[in-house]
Chains A and B, each alone.
Chain A
Amino acid sequence: MSARDNILAKMRRSLGVSGDDPARRAAVAERLAEARPGVIPARGQLPQEERIALFAAYAAKYGATIARIGSAESLPGEVSRYLMSQNLPASIRVGDDPFLKAARFESEPMLTVLSGASDGSDLAGVSHARGAVAESGTLVLASGPENPVTINFLPEHHIVAIRAQDIGGSLEEAFAGITTTYGKGEMPRTVNFITGPSRSGDIEQKIIMGAHGPRALHVVIVG
């Protein structure tokens, strides 16, 4: 018998069950098919403006800086302003994201825009979050050519645009959105839930920002 079969047989022996029991199979199939949500904290279940405010408050609590702009057209200007305020060179790394493309970074003549995955030499990267979770101030980013994962982790500064209407209340809403896009039970290679910039408390439990990922996270709420 293979290790796999041994393990499954041992499990069934220990549990005193059979792998063919139709009632057990039905219970598992039903649970996976229905994928019911459990307890959802009330604090994220708010009207849109309050939800956005809650998201911003938690993201700030965990060390992100927040800006809000009226429309995507203002994004290049906000990115330039942020880079300047941090004394960073006017250069960003961006993926293929249609929302970011439509924002037209070329409207900022001084801004260098590098596209594709990061090779570790970028000081600033810009991503578009597909969603956000108000209850904890968390951004939701999906991997792909639109938003390469390396941009989330290698640059010193990570700038993330999120459309106001995409900010949901709970983790469950974020997963529901992913299921709508990719299909039930399907996921992109990587989904990153990001709550503030990278940090470590490993030396004497003192929290220091900028461990291996970005030292700073700048969230731009659009709309």
Chain B
Amino acid sequence: MFAQILRTHWAWTRALVGVLALLTFVTPAFVWRLANLGTSGAPPALALMEGFAAAGVILAFLAVLGAFAIAAQPWTVDAATNHVYPLSLPIPWARYLAMRYSAGALMLLGPTLALWLGCVMALAMVELPDVLRSYAGALALRFLLASLLAYSATFALQHLAGRRAPMVLLVSILALVVVGFGVGIVAGRADLVDATLRLLIEWPGPFAIFTEPWVLVDV
């Protein structure tokens, strides 16, 4: 049954996975090309580190966007038929969700592999000084974890809020901003907002993976 679900997941999201894989593949080379315009020869180590630094931001954005699409698309297809197919299956709902979730998570491996290959190719184009080390594998793993996290959050939101998911997400963000800044301004307690944000983005918060450094080359 899992093979069947995986097959349908692939059929529904292959275009998205393909585009995401292409984007992650070209990002390292593209970023380096942008940073290195106007200069020639071997750049100093610092320029190399700074040149590749922008890749982290772009990749974090792609991780969120791609994972969101990969989680939302199959749900939309299911919802169009009021989930008749999954509900008619002779298995518990949680087991069906586990298979659906796993199938989506497997789709994330494609863009991750493409990113790793893209990093290796981009690094092959530059002469890396001996003081620098490449972290292509670590960067790809970070991308996979960030994608998986964004995918899981979207998956949960979509299955809990149903068709109202975009509205719930929007309202949640607005509420966080309004309440957070409102409390900060009214009570003069900017530290409350900071503390809340830190809980979310610092280890072991859910989104710590996005704020830790995403580096392709480092000392």
A and B associate: no
The chain A residues found within 8 Å of chain B, CB to CB, are: none
The chain B residues found within 8 Å of chain A, CB to CB, are: none
